[in-house]
Structure 1
Amino acid sequence: MGGKGYALWLFIIEIFVHFSTSSSSSSGNKVPAIIVFGDSSVDSGNNNFIPTIARSNFEPYGRDFFNGNPTGRFSNGRIAPDFISEAFGIKQSVPAYLDPAYNISDFASGVCFASAGTGYDNATAMVADVIPLWKEVEYYKEYQKKLRAHLGDEKANEIIREALYLVSIGTNDFLENYYTLPERRCEFPIVQQYEDFLIGLAESFFKEIYGLGARKISLTGLPPMGCLPLERAVNILEYHNCVEDYNNLALEFNGKLGWLVTKLNKDLPGFQLVDANAYDIILQIVKHPSRFGFEVADTGCCGTGRFEMGFLCDPKFTCEDASKYVFWDAFHPSEKTSQIVSNYLIKKYLAKFR
């Protein structure tokens, strides 16, 4: 090969290497931030900063978090958004928007607006005086203004457009509101009517954040809520088995969410709403815990594991090793369960965003 030919060959290789490295670096940075809306399944501590009893910023919560810090996550450690953020190469935990320990430079790569105890229905948030979903959106608008002031319009708009939004909400609408208090049952005597009411609220929420620039969204619907330790504890007549009526309701509602996902993806140009349904994997873990490395699936780690959560979780009466338990308290998964579920959701539904 002559001198010119060799130089040309080197030039081609250089271009190829530059192209492959630049494309791989950009693909590794397709999601610059994780932005979270929802309830206690994804709240990283916003409720610490509002007057509510629905909080968990005390021991034994957070005992397996970094430095054993009780952050307000309803877990012994990290929760799903933290694991998803880490898997996308962003950061190991997603901070709560109301936490004054963080600022806009922290929130630029991930922020959580979720509030434990909330739902699609404003009336659900009123049960424990927590942040309603509309207020989460107001905080998101405020965040956008701060982000633009911090980074400039172009960079901020890119983060807003390319971020992965995680939405996990709905369980409290049924368990804390519809089946606990009389008002909504009087208004919607058939539960399917209430489901449809919630679907309408969900549609409005997604259209609003789409209008604000959100494009990549993961929606996680209801878990098999009849298998939560709290529900099993009161299911005395069926020997503390899962409450099948609640599980069937979750399946029915998730089906309607799936219909909504299809509709919105069709109606809204550029919208990528993913139906990241965790029902099946959670049910598998509950039904076959040993396959996933667990020993206990019917009760939580905290106290008797049947009804304790929040302030009722006493450090003196909490299991030694939470990794043996599917549930941390009577309502929320352990860190290990959250990690397994997150890995499943990433592999099955969210890999296309990476």
Structure 2
Amino acid sequence: MKISYAWPHLFLLLAATATAKVPAMAKVPAIVVFGDSSVDAGNNNQIPTIARSNFLPYGRDFSGGKATGRFSNGRIATDFISEAFGLRPTVPAYLDPAYNISDFAVGVTFASAGTGYDNATSDVLGVIPMWKELEYYKEYQKRLRAYLGDGKTIYTISNSLYIISIGTNDFLENYYAFNSQRRTQYTVDGYQQYLVGLARNFIVNLHGLGARKISLGGLPPMGCMPLERAQNLQNGNECMETYNIVAMSFNQKLYDLTRELNKEIPGLKLVFSNPYFVLLQLIQKPSSYGFEESQRACCATGMFEMGYACQRSPLTCTDANKYVFWDAFHPSEHTNKMVADHVMKTALYKFI
């Protein structure tokens, strides 16, 4: 299988982006986020689901040591992206009662941990489906208009950066799950095509609501997550290459989708933000980037735990900056920053 991404001199690029500072700018008045746990800042705290992280040790390195509902020891990638665009250092959750429209006017996330493009994925843990995230966005537009007035609202909507980060759960929590219905309905390639169709519809609908600058996020090397490695006993806990191949294949389809939609929709500026290769480098050569551990996570044993399983474990590491992963599924704050710096340099620079 041929993957047509060109990442020349990746090691030099990573070294540069690790310390790069993007100058503040005013071209993007707000960051608006849709997706899953990679970009959820606490929406799931407000719904009845076990897919939560609003308790320690989550958030222990966040400002004030607060467990906000981010699946990290600190900030997540979209927080760093917001800061890089000269906006606030965090992007708050839309359902968080601690914030109001004055906060959301410069940044908001509708993301829900455990969700996916596929409605069947959100049903697994009873979380917010993507169609509902879009409904919340419509409500947000009305609130924004009441707060800013028509003129400023139109400017904000058309000039904001919209970030979509989703898809991993569709495969790991749905398609590859035990007794998966989707696996009886689709081949893996067919399921990828089905998800790409859903992604296309979402972007078209978002554009119809006024969005013009959109970042479509790709999948990470999901076979290298500690949870997947821990289950790969027959191959010595190495990465599950089958899952990584699926991620690369799906990313290629999403990349192709961005090219198609940019040609089809006048005025659309759609970019593909790919975290796959930067994360793979951190995982394969952690010491080159200041990490000490990339196979196990910081939380608990670092092999299986996430969410409530991370609570009160005496095994949790003392310095999460030394770990590529915070829990068995999610990157540490330090990794999130490196990924954010990387996508700023390789994709989001087009909006500077």
Once residues 116 and 198 of structure 1 are traced to their aligned partners in structure 2, the CA distance between those partners, rounded to angstroms, is 18
1:156-214 residue CA offsets vs partner (Å, 9 max, x unmatched): 111011001111000000000000042111111x1111111101101000000000001
| Aligned residue identity for 1:231 | E
TM-score w.r.t. the length of structure 1 is 0.91
Once residues 349 and 203 of structure 2 are traced to their aligned partners in structure 1, the CA distance between those partners, rounded to angstroms, is 21
Give unmatched runs, 5+ long, in structure 2. 1-23
Map 1:158-177 → 2, pairs under 5 A: 158-177=155-174
| Aligned residue identity for 1:74 | F
Once residues 327 and 85 of structure 1 are traced to their aligned partners in structure 2, the CA distance between those partners, rounded to angstroms, is 22
- Aligned-residue sequence identity (percent) comes to 63
Once residues 109 and 253 of structure 2 are traced to their aligned partners in structure 1, the CA distance between those partners, rounded to angstroms, is 26
1:280 equivalent to 2:272? Answer: no
Partner of 1:22: none
Post-superposition shift, 1:317?
2.5
1:289-312 residue CA offsets vs partner (Å, 9 max, x unmatched): 011100000010001100000000
TM-score w.r.t. the length of structure 2 is 0.92
Once residues 314 and 58 of structure 1 are traced to their aligned partners in structure 2, the CA distance between those partners, rounded to angstroms, is 7
Post-superposition shift, 1:99?
0.5
Once residues 48 and 40 of structure 1 are traced to their aligned partners in structure 2, the CA distance between those partners, rounded to angstroms, is 12
| Aligned residue identity for 2:104 | F
Once residues 103 and 90 of structure 2 are traced to their aligned partners in structure 1, the CA distance between those partners, rounded to angstroms, is 11
Once residues 284 and 104 of structure 1 are traced to their aligned partners in structure 2, the CA distance between those partners, rounded to angstroms, is 39
Q: After TM superposition, what 4+ stretches of structure 1 lie above 6 angstroms from structure 2?
A: none
Once residues 182 and 100 of structure 1 are traced to their aligned partners in structure 2, the CA distance between those partners, rounded to angstroms, is 36
3-state DSSP of counterpart to 1:252: helix
Give unmatched runs, 5+ long, in structure 1. 1-26
Partner of 2:339: 341
3-state DSSP of counterpart to 2:95: coil
Partner of 1:127: 124
Partner of 2:110: 113
3-state DSSP of counterpart to 2:33: strand
CA RMSD of aligned residues (A): 0.8
3-state DSSP of counterpart to 1:297: coil
Map 1:94-109 → 2, pairs under 5 A: 94-109=91-106
Once residues 208 and 49 of structure 1 are traced to their aligned partners in structure 2, the CA distance between those partners, rounded to angstroms, is 26
Map 1:1-354 → 2, pairs under 5 A: 28-180=25-177, 181-188=179-186, 190-315=187-312, 316-354=314-352
Once residues 182 and 46 of structure 2 are traced to their aligned partners in structure 1, the CA distance between those partners, rounded to angstroms, is 28
State the aligned residue count: 327
Once residues 120 and 293 of structure 1 are traced to their aligned partners in structure 2, the CA distance between those partners, rounded to angstroms, is 34
3-state DSSP of counterpart to 1:275: strand
3-state DSSP of counterpart to 2:170: helix
Q: Is the 8 A contact 2:294 2:325 kept in 1?
A: yes
Post-superposition shift, 1:56?
0.1
Once residues 67 and 196 of structure 2 are traced to their aligned partners in structure 1, the CA distance between those partners, rounded to angstroms, is 34
- For the pair shown, the structure with the greater C-alpha radius of gyration is 1
Q: Is the 8 A contact 2:55 2:311 kept in 1?
A: no
3-state DSSP of counterpart to 2:204: helix
Once residues 92 and 37 of structure 2 are traced to their aligned partners in structure 1, the CA distance between those partners, rounded to angstroms, is 14
Post-superposition shift, 1:352?
1.9
